[in-house]
Amino acid sequence: MKKYISIFLALLMMAMCLTACGSKEETKSVSTDGSTSMQKVMLALSEAFMNNNAGTTVTYNGTGSSTGIKAVKDGTCDIGLSSRYLKDSEKAEGLKETILAIDGIAIIIHPDNTVADLTLEQIASIYKGEITNWSEVGGSDGEIVLMGREESSGTRDGFESITGTEDACQYRQELTSNGAVLTAVAENPNAIGYVSLSSVKDTVKAISVNSVSPSEATIKDGSYPVQRPFVLVTKEGVELSETAQAFFDFATSSAANEIISAAGVVPVN
Amino acid sequence: MKSNKLFERAVHGVFLILGLVTVACVLLITVYLVISGIPAILEIGVWDFLFGTVWESTGSDPQFGILPFILSSIYGTAGALLLGVPVGFFTAVYLSKKASPKTKEIMSGAVSLLAGIPSVVYGLVGMMVLVPGIRALFGLPDGASLMAAIIVLSIMILPSIIKVSITALDAVPKEYEDASLALGATPEETWFRVSVPAAKSGIATAVVLGVGRAIGEAMAVMMVSGNVANMPSLFESVRFLTTAVSSGMGYADGLYREALFSIALVLFLFIMLMNAVLNFFLKGETK
């Protein structure tokens, strides 16, 4: 009996080891960990980097901004990925932020909806349930149906923190991907939703906010208000491994701009 | 002689090990769920966790009450059984007793095909057809609701109910039915008074399987139910136990992540309990 118990314990430990964050025993590899919103841009960057530097590997682990920041702090990965600015408390713990790109969050509605522009305040009121009918914001009569993302989503976190609607949104549906939000909004003439600007398709209409339509230019000059940064997080005063430093330099150089744009976000360097 | 015996022992050992793999998996999952699920329950408090009606995992003052999920799962499964069991049961009786061999072959094939459709496809069709349909039919602002989930689930449990019931009904000895017919009973009376009671245990198994499938389904439900942690109501957006786990697991961290394991543990215990109860009531009587 004792023997079986010890076998099960051993198996259990093995299972736990497998779930642990990728370690950095190889000097030629770079591990990144964090925001799932940054997956697309990170995969594009690491692919380009690995093509240029044979023998190196860049791993990406999509765990979420807060987990990624924590991973850098604990030293379980080289570069953390965050789709929000670092909090002051996190900076106080010796973490350093480098902005890689800016992501715009598009507010989308059904293409048949006549509304073309909303202010940030109107959007906030709509999501808080204070405005419930499209006629109140210049559209035709119809109950507004709020589509959003699940509570751990980076896009939701970004949207709610920008509009100041944390914990107050009266969602009708909480979907688990940008694609699902697009489909749900395209299916319902009274729906409103938010997705990463890079994933907007013709099946929906992206409205302008505060009279500024979402585009690469308006995001970069800061005039489009619903935007958030993609941040590379490192430890202040701790040197990266040679490969990790090379990757960091590559990602923040102007040479990477084309790749970053192709991934649907706006480069800043 | 000696090498023969050794060989037999070796074969026996191999089979024993293969058998133990299954047992080990069950034990491993159970142990893992208990170990990772208990801490959050204790931290939140058993009562607040199981009977709390508010789920706000990412709020500034996080609340982890899973009663909405538990009730949604129960209502969803019950609704699916209410729609699915009668349809599946009568289909099985028809296919087993009345249908011509050709009809039976074609319809059984279709049922098998239904079983082979991945749940994500059910979800997709539900999202594109059922959800807008419910919205238009009932004049709702949005169709993603408990109702949509019930309809999708009731279709998903049909194959297991029909197939297992057919097997049970086919296995009823022909002598029973012949005797009934010889005594002057009509075929219909024979099916429902003789064949069905004789196949009761198998049909009960079919229902239990259906319950298991319905309560454990995540993907299709997630796509049509709206996924908001409301207390269940037929035309409101709801979140099931399964979808609570699968929608959060990708990104969650801290107590939220641990709470998801706790939900999985509750779901696990729930299914065990349900199976035990159903087995006891549905099958116990025949003995």
How far away is chain A from the Cα of B183, in angstroms, using its nearest Cα?
A: 59
Q: How confident is the model at residue A5 (pLDDT cuts 50, 70, 90)?
A: low
Across the interface, whether the CB atoms of A173 and B226 are under 8 A apart is answered: yes
Q: Across chain A, what does the average pLDDT equal?
A: 85
Q: Which of B142, B230, B233, B239 to mutate to test the interface with A (most CBs of A within 10 A)?
A: B142
Across the interface, whether the CB atoms of B226 and A174 are under 8 A apart is answered: yes
Cβ–Cβ pairs < 8 A, chains A and B: 99
Please indicate, yes or no, if residue B60 is contained in any of the structural domains.
no
Please indicate, yes or no, if residue B262 is contained in any of the structural domains.
yes
How far away is chain B from the Cα of A151, in angstroms, using its nearest Cα?
A: 6
Q: How far apart are the first and last CA of chain A?
A: 62
Predicted-assembly ipTM surpassing the 0.90 threshold = no
A104-131 pLDDT, tens digit each: 899 999 999 999 999 999 999 999 999 9
Question: Which segments of chain B have a pLDDT < 70?
Answer: 1-2, 250-253, 283-287
Which pLDDT belongs to residue A228? 86
Judge whether residue A64 has pLDDT over 70.
yes
Which residues, numbered 35 to 54 in chain A, qualify as contacts with chain B under a Cβ-Cβ cut-off of 8 Å? 36
Which pLDDT belongs to residue A199? 81
Q: Does A66 touch chain B (CB under 8 A)?
A: yes
Nearest CA in chain B to A187: B132
* CATH code assigned at B99: 1.10.3720.10
Percent of chain A whose predicted confidence (pLDDT) is above 70: 90
Q: How confident is the model at residue A61 (pLDDT cuts 50, 70, 90)?
A: confident
Residue numbers in B near A11 (CB within 8 A)? 24, 28
- DSSP assignment of A72-98 equals HHHTSSSEEEESSPPPHHHHHTTEEEE
All structural domains of chain A = 31-101+230-267 (3.40.190.10), 103-227 (3.40.190.10)
Average pLDDT over residues A130-141: 91
Q: Are residues B14 and B121 in the same domain?
A: no
Judge whether residue A22 has pLDDT over 50.
no
Closest among A180, A161, A141, A181 to A226, alpha carbons compared: A161
Average pLDDT over residues A153-158: 80
Across the interface, whether the CB atoms of B247 and A150 are under 8 A apart is answered: yes
Across the interface, whether the CB atoms of B251 and A154 are under 8 A apart is answered: yes
Q: Are residues B139 and B261 in the same domain?
A: yes
In this structure, the number of other CB atoms found within 10 A of the CB of residue A34 comes to: 32
Residue numbers in B near A184 (CB within 8 A)? 127, 144
Average pLDDT over residues A141-162: 86
Which pLDDT belongs to residue A11? 57
Q: Are residues B34 and B112 in the same domain?
A: no
Domain total of chain B: 2
Please indicate, yes or no, if residue B106 is contained in any of the structural domains.
yes
Q: Is the pTM of this model over 0.80?
A: no
Across the interface, whether the CB atoms of B32 and A15 are under 8 A apart is answered: yes
Instruction: Tell me the C-alpha distance between B255 and A67, whole Å.
Output: 12
A195-240 pLDDT, tens digit each: 988 788 899 999 999 999 998 888 888 899 999 889 999 998 888 8
Q: Are residues B146 and B220 in the same domain?
A: yes
Please indicate, yes or no, if residue B85 is contained in any of the structural domains.
yes
Which pLDDT belongs to residue A144? 94
Judge whether residue A21 has pLDDT over 50.
no
- Helix crossing, B200-216 with B146-170: angle to 10°? 150
Which pLDDT belongs to residue A7? 58
Q: Does B135 touch chain A (CB under 8 A)?
A: yes
Q: Are residues B180 and B46 in the same domain?
A: no
Q: Are residues B102 and B146 in the same domain?
A: yes
Please indicate, yes or no, if residue B201 is contained in any of the structural domains.
yes
The range of the structural domain enclosing residue B110 comes to 67-286
Which residues, numbered 225 to 254 in chain A, qualify as contacts with chain B under a Cβ-Cβ cut-off of 8 Å? none
Q: Cα dihedral sign for A230, A233, A236, A237?
A: negative
